[in-house]
Amino acid sequence: AQGTIEQFLFAADKAIEQYPALVLDEHTSERVKHGNAFRVEEEPDATTGQSLARVYDDKGEFVAIAEWNAEQRAWQPIKVFL
């Protein structure tokens, strides 16, 4: 079985594609890369219990996993990918 390694690799966000995606503008995504909390219009649906989201920059690059902080009503990056 010969082939390239790319045949067996998956994108980092593939395993969490069941979580909603948040696409941020350039300024906000730079803040996220430094671990700063952020706000967007999308808030988690209380009925689903989902409190995690995939975070993408304005170019479509996966930059972080964020968790909803209900007390602060903001998303907090919990894992940032540079």
pLDDT in tens, 52-77: 999 999 999 999 999 999 899 999 99
pLDDT tens digits, residue range 17-33?
Answer: 999 999 999 999 999 99
**In which residue are the tokens 């996966």 written?**
62
The CA-based diameter of the chain, rounded to the nearest angstrom, is 53
Q: Can you say how many angstroms the Cα of residue 56 is from the centroid of all Cα atoms in its chain?
A: 6
pTM over 0.75? The answer is yes
CA angle, 31 then 36 then 42, to 5°: 85
